[in-house]
Amino acid sequence: MYAQSVPFLIRNLEATTKFLKKAEAQIDAKKIDKAVVLNLRIFPDMFPLIRQVQLVTDFCKGSGARLSGVAVPSYADEEKTFDELYARLAKTVDFLKSLDVKSFEGADKRNITMKVQGNDMTMDGITYFNGMALPNIYFHMTTAYNILRSIGIELGKGDFMGR
């Protein structure tokens, strides 16, 4: 499970960092207020860009922690700038790199219990990673990417993929 999860999680965090930095450069060039961009959302009932990025880190650190059997680190969700988001993304990469490969032995069959919409849900590690973590990581990455694209930021599939 380590080989299937941690390198993937790190790659997605790094890809998110790269497309945010590319977007920030364009935002600077166009003299757009960064605070406004960080608080944009696709629809009023959706989270803004800043929260989408926080959730990418939450699902990445959460899945790494749960699969390795360690406590999920708690972050305060206080970021207000691109630099603070980059620091959060880097902190999450550092956390994932700190995980012991051996702690992932048997993770595919390890029971993982978590709250989902207020109810306890238990599943094995492989079901959790493939059915809960991956879809949520991609959802929030895609939503962050789409918020930026919706205001004319030039990003492509390669940027999303981390190339």
Write down the mean pLDDT value for the chain.
96
- The least confident of 2-6, 77-81, 115-119 is 115-119
**pLDDT at residue 115 in the model:** 83
**pLDDT at residue 35 in the model:** 97
**pLDDT at residue 155 in the model:** 96
Q: Is 120 helix (H, G, I), strand (E, B) or coil?
A: strand
Q: What is the DSSP letter of 99?
A: S
**pLDDT at residue 40 in the model:** 98
- The answer, yes or no, to whether residue 150 has pLDDT greater than 90, is yes
Instruction: List the domains of the chain with CATH numbers.
Output: 2-160 (1.20.120.450)
Residue position matching structure tokens 């973590």: 133
Radius of gyration of the chain, Cα coordinates, nearest whole angstrom: 16
Q: Is 100 helix (H, G, I), strand (E, B) or coil?
A: coil
- Residues 48 and 59: beta-carbon distance below 8 Å: no
Q: Is 123 helix (H, G, I), strand (E, B) or coil?
A: strand
Residue 25 tokens, joined: 């450069």
**Beta strand 119-124 pairing with 111-116:** antiparallel
- The answer, yes or no, to whether residue 156 has pLDDT greater than 90, is yes
Residue 116 tokens, joined: 């989902």
Residue 110 tokens, joined: 């390890």
**pLDDT at residue 163 in the model:** 85
